[in-house]
Amino acid sequence: MTDLKRFDGHGVLVTGAARGIGAAVARRLAEEGGRVLVTDRDLLQAERTAAALREQRLAATAFACDVADRGSVEAAVARALALFGSLDVLVNCAAHCTPDVPLFEESSDDAWERDLDVTLTGAYRCCRAALPHLSASGRGAVVLIGSVNGLQDYGNHGYSAAKAGLGSLTRTLAGHAGPRGVRVNLVAPGTVRTSAWEGRDADLDAVRPLYPLGRVGEPEDIAAAVAFLASRDAAWITGTVLPVDGGITAVNRAFRTALRGGAGSA
């Protein structure tokens, strides 16, 4: 539990907040005084997440939201306004990732379109619906959850293309929204221990040595970065992509290892 209270009186909407990074973000912003609308397609789990926050005397309400549906997104924004009177922070965590098939040419249009529709277009829908209200608040901030997949090759063609698109959306929307008093930034996580890795401890052990900081991430690592970018501590930061990745995109650990501990050079 943090002692910071950077979001006292703020109305906050988090998508994909039922579990994982989204749930950690909802918790962190609520701990800092935000009134949080915990939205997700999985309403039952969203309600569990919100209930757990309320047990700690934090302000959280669950609401069903499918970011692939414009009407659902607009209903979520309307619900946040009705509950809080303003919308000050939007965090786009919802995403969809289809595992790659062995051969690229065997991939389907449906899988590609689903990854882009939820991950990229879903964030676009949320930003479009929220922007007028974020502007009206006088302290509006958007934080998108990207991925190192949008910066380098880690597989997952559709998901990675969508995450790369979020980086571009961050820059173009920052340019448009800045004069309207709204900042837009993106956090790009590396490997984070979430339910997506459940039962895959061996895989996490395999990638851990690739991280210069010696571990994979936890959802709370990402939530802390989101809280910074959404707060007034980042008042002069917009349009940025912040890797929160244990150094994996900055340091080629595998290359160093191949050269017997990094004694050589490229």
Q: Is 211 a catalytic residue?
A: no
Phi, psi of 258 (to 5 degrees): -60, -25
Catalytic residue from among 124, 154, 159, 211? 159
Residues 6+ apart with CB under 8 A from 208: 214, 215, 216
What 3-state DSSP class applies to 191? coil
263, 38 Cβ separation under 8 angstroms: no
145, 222 Cβ separation under 8 angstroms: yes
Q: What is the DSSP letter of 213?
A: T
What 3-state DSSP class applies to 229? helix
| Rounded distance between C-alpha atoms, residue 25 and residue 45, angstroms | 15
Instruction: Outline where 85-120 has alpha helix (H).
Output: 109-116
Which contiguous run of DSSP H or E holds residue 189? strand 183-189
Which active-site residues does the annotation give?
Answer: 159
